[in-house]
Amino acid sequence: MTVSPNLPNLPQFSDSSAPLTRTDDERGVATLTLNRPERCNALSFETLRRLLAELRQIAVDDSTRLVVLRGAGKHFCAGLDLDEATNGAPIPLETLQADALDLDDFRVPVAEITQTAEKSNPAQLLASKTDFRDASPFDLAAQPLAPPFEADFPPTLPRFQVAPRLVLELLRQIRLTPKPVVAAVRGAACGGGAGLVSACDFVVADSTFRAVFTETKRGLSPSLLFPFLRRKLPLAALQEFVLTAAPFAASRAADVGLVQTLVEPGDFAATVAAAVDRFLANEPRSLATAKRLFNAALLPTDAEIRAGWLEHCRSWASSAGREGIAAFLVKRPPRWSR
């Protein structure tokens, strides 16, 4: 197996207690399972980095022909683990370098975002009457990029800044992986979890599946996923899903093209297996060429991805974002809810 020199040679994750597990069969099918069922498979930092590493290795491994992405337990993925992203320890730079992320991207907003976030103590925010009329988050993305001064770059970065970037890297890597990625989904897919579904090449869902884009309910900008979603879903449907932040059922997901095959739970495993067989009947290099052609329409530009990430980070540091996340973590309505 050929492994990119920019990535650590990570072992295959077969430990049943690991946040991500991988199994391979003799046909070259790699099954990646989000394995935090007690948290509805919420995306922790470790889950994100492991999944990204696996997909990057699979992309250059000729023995792997197809990826199946699934979730352990009743649900596919609850999205980003907000509890960890807000309360976990900062991420050391060495970890980011090992994951082969572009550190220059992190240099641009770090000072402004962290200073904005430090101005308000979350406890004080909860005790105060907050005015949510913040400056437009588009302002940050529109600013000229500052030069990367090493002296201004801290040795660690907050998780709320790193974790969304890893979500974007995952979506991008799914599109760039020259092998079909089949999502086998049931139960809930929320926020970034629904974003993962949208990036896959083919989606099989059972009738328990439901999706929701939760950002506007949390006071966050939907800009993180938007560059990918607008290329995959009809604009009118996407506008409804984002502006209402309301869950939509499997049948609606199939109607708008998020799901390609919808079946009853009893037929789910057999239908996934049949979809895998159809892909394996095709020539690998022709499939890789086809994915590259579709990426001209489905893959956002680097500039769009970066601007969306910057805007999303700004919204985390805004008063509305901090209020929305705090309300979610303590299971109460946010202040703006009527």
Q: Would you tell me how many other CB atoms lie within 10 Å of the CB of residue 140?
A: 21
Q: What pLDDT, on a 0 to 100 scale, did the predictor assign at position 140?
A: 29
Structure tokens at 90: 């900062």
Q: What pLDDT, on a 0 to 100 scale, did the predictor assign at position 154?
A: 60
- CA dihedral (114, 116, 119, 120) positive or negative: negative
Q: What pLDDT, on a 0 to 100 scale, did the predictor assign at position 338?
A: 78
Q: What angle do CA 228, 95, 97 make, to 5 degrees?
A: 75
Q: Is residue 88 part of a domain?
A: yes
Q: What pLDDT, on a 0 to 100 scale, did the predictor assign at position 144?
A: 31
Q: What pLDDT, on a 0 to 100 scale, did the predictor assign at position 9?
A: 36
Q: Which mean pLDDT values do the consecutive 10-residue runs of the chain (338 residues) have?
A: 33 65 97 97 93 94 97 96 83 69 56 44 39 34 32 65 88 95 98 96 98 95 94 96 97 98 97 98 97 94 88 85 90 90
Q: Is residue 322 part of a domain?
A: yes
Structure tokens at 121: 């103590």
Residue with tokens 């049931």: 186
DSSP, collapsed to helix, strand or coil, labels residue 177 as coil
Rounded CA gap, 257 and 277, in Å? 21
For residue 186, give its domain range: 20-329
Strand 181-185, strand 91-92: pairing: unpaired
Q: Is residue 214 part of a domain?
A: yes
Rounded CA gap, 122 and 39, in Å? 24
264 is catalytic: no
Q: Is residue 1 part of a domain?
A: no
DSSP, collapsed to helix, strand or coil, labels residue 157 as strand
Structure tokens at 161: 């800044």
Q: What pLDDT, on a 0 to 100 scale, did the predictor assign at position 85?
A: 85
Domain of 36, CATH number, reads 3.90.226.10
Q: Exposed/middle/buried for 122, CB within 10 Å: 0-12, 13-18, 19+? A: middle
User: How many domains is the chain built from?
Assistant: 1
Structure tokens at 328: 């979610």
Q: What pLDDT, on a 0 to 100 scale, did the predictor assign at position 102?
A: 62
Q: Is residue 11 part of a domain?
A: no
Q: What angle do CA 200, 186, 217 make, to 5 degrees?
A: 80
DSSP, collapsed to helix, strand or coil, labels residue 104 as helix
Q: Which of these is catalytic: 54, 84, 169, 215?
A: 215
Q: Is residue 313 part of a domain?
A: yes
Rounded CA gap, 90 and 169, in Å? 19
Q: Is residue 39 part of a domain?
A: yes
